[in-house]
Amino acid sequence: MASNPACIEFWFDFGSPYSYLSMMRIDALTAAAGLTLIYRPFLLGPIFKALGYDTSPFVAHPEKGRYMWRDMQRQSEKQGLPFHKPSLFPRNALLATRVAMLGENTPWIRNYCRAIMRQNFEADQDISLRSNVVSALHGLVPDADALVVAAGDESNKQRLRQQVAIAQHLGIFGAPTFFVGDEMYWGNDRLDDAIAQAKQAGRL
């Protein structure tokens, strides 16, 4: 966990609809509040599996899924975001997430993550395709192809596995999840609460 009290850790999955909503506003909100934002990409799949789900709960429970997609339409309109229900859900985000692990502490992480989210939830593009991941990196790094190759190194694969293990240890069960110190906030609708807590912690 980050030691800076005026800091928010943002745990997200590229296949998570509500992570999309948070991704598209969190940079501006944390910057305006004078907070440090730490990106924590991870995969929900192994966590769901440990909870007894073979797929997203939004798929396992059709009623929950129908509500979520309608809610996504409402919330996207509220945030002024374009939204297109993915024709495949949940999409395989393994490659995209491995690349994000390489960018976790770099300046390009925010723009890359937003590009992947836009592909999935605005353009209905397959984020598992190497060509789309390379496209999301265009203009952000000197050699996008080389970075995607590096994302497949065993050391980076292990880093992602460790990231998922940390998420499980922290008790994360969905995305987005935010941490302010040891305090956990789950869901896009709790982002404002997490920011308020981090601002208060920063003043202590």
Q: Which two tokens stand for residue 197?
A: 């807590």
Measured between alpha carbons, how far is 180 from 144 in angstroms, rounded to an integer?
33
pLDDT at 144: 98
pTM of the complete model: 0.95
**pLDDT at residue 4, rounded to an integer:** 60
C-alpha to C-alpha distance for 20 and 38, rounded to whole angstroms: 16
Can you tell me which residue has the tokens 């203009």?
139
Pick the CATH number of 7-203 from 3.30.210.10, 3.40.30.10, 1.10.10.10, 3.40.390.10: 3.40.30.10
Residues 87/124, Cβ–Cβ less than 8 Å: yes
Residue 169: partners with Cβ closer than 8 Å, 6 or more residues away = none
- Crossing angle of helices 144-151 and 130-137, in 10° steps, is 130
Q: What are the extents of the domains in the chain?
A: 7-203
Beta strands 183-186; 177-180: pairing state: antiparallel
| C-alpha pair distances (Å), 138 with each of 115, 116, 130 | 10, 12, 12
pLDDT at 23: 98
**41: preceding bond cis by omega (within 30 degrees):** no
List per-block mean pLDDT (blocks of 10 residues) for the chain, which spans 204 residues: 73 98 98 96 96 92 96 98 97 98 96 98 98 98 98 98 98 97 96 95 69
Residues in the chain: 204
Instruction: Determine which helix (DSSP H) or strand (DSSP E) holds 40, and give its type and residue range.
Output: strand 36-41
Given this model, what pLDDT does residue 6 score? 81
Q: How far apart are CA 6 and CA 181, in angstroms?
A: 9
What whole-number distance in Å separates Cα of residue 195 and Cα of residue 201? 10
pLDDT number for residue 136: 98
Strand-pairing partners, residue 180, are: 183
